Amino acid sequence: MPFGPHTPDDRAAMLAALGIESVDELFADIPPALRASPLRLDPPDPEADLVDRLAGLAARNRVDLAGFAGGGAYRHYVPAVVDQLLLRGEWYTAYTPYQPEVSQGTLQSIYEYQSLLAELTGLDVVSASHYDGAAATAEAALMTCRQTRRARVLISRAVHPHYRAAAKTYLDAAGIVHEEVPLVGDGPAAGTTDLGALERLMADRDRPVAGVLAAQPSVLGLLEPMAEIGRLAHAAGALFVAVVEPVSLAVLAPPGAYGADIAAGEGQPLGIPLAYGGPYLGILATTEALVRQIPGRLVGQTTDAAGRRAFVMTLRAREQDIRRERAASNICTNQALLALAASIYLAELGPHGLRDVAALGAARAAELETALEAAGAPRVHPGPYLNEFAVRVPDADAVHRRLLDRGVLAGVPLATLEPGDPTVADGLLVCATEMTTPEEIGRFAAALADELGSAGEGSLRTDAGEAAVNRRIEVATR
């Protein structure tokens, strides 16, 4: 066994102490009829072989592409310091700080995470942590029902479809009715939550609403009328849940400023690798009024017997190991190490660095919009966005596939993300971040123009054609 320290003498000594001949005797309590068939596994890989196997698998993934995919996971620069610090075994090989005297590092770091996220969201209570943005959103929806003792939740269709799907799973399980708020079809507000429809859904007094969920920015990248949505929710006695992206909070109004009672979101953009979907960081924050409804870990400041400042897990009566079937959630293991990564990221960047990340992404996105429009792919929606938006591309899925061969991950085809929405069937959801380079934008736009040109008016796949397109894009992005 690779990491087993026992020598044959050690084993013999332990067996002798127990007065037995073989370890098999310790398994005599497994009824013979229920004993396992032999394990059909390959021989162990020595480390050098294991490294080859894993490197081979990793090499089968394509991460060389100019990446414009967002849709809930974003390619950001992760400062070297984040991983260097995470790799200290004192962090990643510890567990839940049940024994606070030997866990003050983890406990203080969680208290600091709560404080940092409180500053970002403008809400005072932050739990540390949830599985991802989807699970945090589902937990937020359940919180609104516990607090209001109502059993109906409205979710904007502009909330990420995976979050809506996870919320559906959790809410169905709890017997809570959930309905989607449609989006505005056309006009200047196209693609954002339909406030009139929301008002109509709330008007049914026999079916009072516990919570209204909307996302800022929305899954389509658009800025939503969050203050108005919150006002409508509160007017009907419902709570308002804002689903947020944390980097954007450096420059966009925070949930606390527009009256959200709960903020949920995906913390991946805060220094966490894409890693094909996880492990990520579920952000969940709320007001002091709802502190006893929030699930997940909370760390508070206190003192020790000598009067020294110290930190400890607190308000534990919400948690499953104390409260069992009456707990606020079944969550136990969470995403603590990712909360630590987010904290280190925020400490390293500071308020100005984070603002620069958000603003640089916005600037690159504007360049991308101009370049794609010049290439023949205009935006689908007219409203303001931060760093992600949808463009219209005929036969988007096929074009997306062909662009892979040209080294471009051309965003996310909306037909795969939102298969139920025909209005975006020919849309590509594209994003830019501070990592997006002008060269990548040029590569994407040129390849797209070529594809669209070849589909429409014969082949542009010539050096001259490409140069012409590049010139057009250069002009457009200047």
Partner 1 sequence: MSVTGPRLQPTLAERSRPGRGTPIVAHPPAGALDRIPADQRRSNPPALPELNEPEVVRHYVNLSQLNHAVDTGFYPLGSCTMKFNPKVNEWAARLPGFAQLHPLAPDEAAQGTLQLLWELEELLAEITGMRAVTLQPAAGAQGELTGILMVRAYHRDRGDEGRTEVLVPDSAHGTNPATASMAGLRTVNVPSAADGGVDVDAFRAALGPSTAAVMITNPSTLGLFESRIGELLDAVHAVGALAYMDGANLNAILGRFKPGEAGFDVMHLNTHKTFSTPHGGGGPGAGPVGVGEKLVPYLPSPRVVREADGSFRLERPGERPTSIGRLRSFVGNTGVLVRAYAYLRSHGTALAEVSDDAVLAANYLKHRLAGSYDLPFDRPCKHEFVASAAGLRRRTGIRTIDVAKRLIDFGFHPPTVYFPHTVEEAMLIEPTETESKETIDAFADALIEIAREAEDDPERIRSAPATAPVGRLDEATAARQPNLRWRAMTGREMPCPT
Question: Nearest approach, Cβ of 459 to partner 1 (angstroms)?
Answer: 24
| Residues 414 and 428: beta-carbon distance below 8 Å | yes
d(CA 136, CA 140): 6
Burial of 88 (0-12, 13-18, 19+ CB in 10 A): exposed
CB atoms within 10 A of CB 333: 8
Identify the residue among 319, 388, 426, 450 touching partner 1 (CB under 8 A).
319
Which of 238, 346, 286 is CA-nearest to residue 128? 286
Identify the residue among 148, 234, 259, 348 touching partner 1 (CB under 8 A).
348
Q: Rank residues 258 and 449 by Cβ distance to partner 1 and give the closer one.
A: 258
Identify the residue among 8, 21, 98, 463 touching partner 1 (CB under 8 A).
98
Which of 305, 299, 248, 229 is CA-nearest to residue 120? 248
Q: Rank residues 79 and 182 by Cβ distance to partner 1 and give the closer one.
A: 79
For position 12 contacting partner 1 by CB under 8 A, the verdict is no
For position 85 contacting partner 1 by CB under 8 A, the verdict is yes
Token couple for 11 = 């084993």
d(CA 54, CA 151): 48
Question: Nearest approach, Cβ of 447 to partner 1 (angstroms)?
Answer: 16
Residue 287, Cα to own-chain centre: how many angstroms?
Answer: 22
Which of 198-206, 234-242, 310-318, 457-465 is the region at the interface with partner 1 (rule: CB under 8 A)? 310-318
Beta bridge partners of 241: 213, 262
* Angle of the 133-148 helix axis to the 161-173 helix axis, nearest 10: 40
Total residue length of the chain: 478
Residue 104, Cα to own-chain centre: how many angstroms?
Answer: 28
Q: In sequence order, what DSSP letters do the residues of 21-54 get, joined into one string?
A: S-GGGGGTTS-GGGPPPPP--PPPPPHHHHHHHH
| Residues 289 and 260: beta-carbon distance below 8 Å | no
For position 344 contacting partner 1 by CB under 8 A, the verdict is yes
Identify the residue among 66, 73, 229, 244 touching partner 1 (CB under 8 A).
73
| Residues 251 and 385: beta-carbon distance below 8 Å | no
Residue 310, Cα to own-chain centre: how many angstroms?
Answer: 31
Restricted to residues 176-215, the positions that interact with partner 1 (CB under 8 A) are: none
Question: Nearest approach, Cβ of 465 to partner 1 (angstroms)?
Answer: 26
Identify the residue among 141, 153, 249, 374 touching partner 1 (CB under 8 A).
249
Restricted to residues 365-384, the positions that interact with partner 1 (CB under 8 A) are: 366, 384
Q: Rank residues 63 and 203 by Cβ distance to partner 1 and give the closer one.
A: 63
Identify the residue among 8, 206, 305, 439 touching partner 1 (CB under 8 A).
305
For position 289 contacting partner 1 by CB under 8 A, the verdict is no
Which of 46-54, 178-186, 196-204, 452-460 is the region at the interface with partner 1 (rule: CB under 8 A)? 46-54
For position 112 contacting partner 1 by CB under 8 A, the verdict is yes
Question: Nearest approach, Cβ of 150 to partner 1 (angstroms)?
Answer: 16
For position 275 contacting partner 1 by CB under 8 A, the verdict is yes
Restricted to residues 397-456, the positions that interact with partner 1 (CB under 8 A) are: 400-401, 404, 409, 412, 416-417, 419, 434
Q: Rank residues 211 and 256 by Cβ distance to partner 1 and give the closer one.
A: 256
Which of 38-46, 178-186, 450-458, 462-470 is the region at the interface with partner 1 (rule: CB under 8 A)? 38-46
Per the listing, tokens 């606020």 go with 328
Restricted to residues 121-140, the positions that interact with partner 1 (CB under 8 A) are: 124-126, 128-129, 131-135
| Residues 361 and 433: beta-carbon distance below 8 Å | yes
Identify the residue among 208, 259, 278, 438 touching partner 1 (CB under 8 A).
278
Identify the residue among 27, 149, 206, 439 touching partner 1 (CB under 8 A).
27
Report in angstroms the alpha-carbon separations of 431 from 50, 67, 132, 248, 391. Answer: 36, 9, 20, 13, 10
- CA angle, residues 195, 201, 205, in degrees to nearest 5: 130
For position 259 contacting partner 1 by CB under 8 A, the verdict is no
- How many residues of this chain bind partner 1 (CB under 8 A)? 202
Q: Rank residues 217 and 453 by Cβ distance to partner 1 and give the closer one.
A: 217
Which of 359, 421, 365 is CA-nearest to residue 221? 365
Beta bridge partners of 244: 216, 265
Question: Nearest approach, Cβ of 207 to partner 1 (angstroms)?
Answer: 19
Identify the residue among 189, 201, 244, 357 touching partner 1 (CB under 8 A).
357
For position 464 contacting partner 1 by CB under 8 A, the verdict is no
Restricted to residues 323-342, the positions that interact with partner 1 (CB under 8 A) are: 323-327, 329-338, 340
Q: Rank residues 50 and 475 by Cβ distance to partner 1 and give the closer one.
A: 50
Q: Beta 239-244 vs 262-266: how paired, if at all?
A: parallel
For position 467 contacting partner 1 by CB under 8 A, the verdict is no
Sign of the torsion formed by the C-alpha atoms of 172, 178, 244 and 188: positive
Identify the residue among 177, 274, 455, 476 touching partner 1 (CB under 8 A).
274
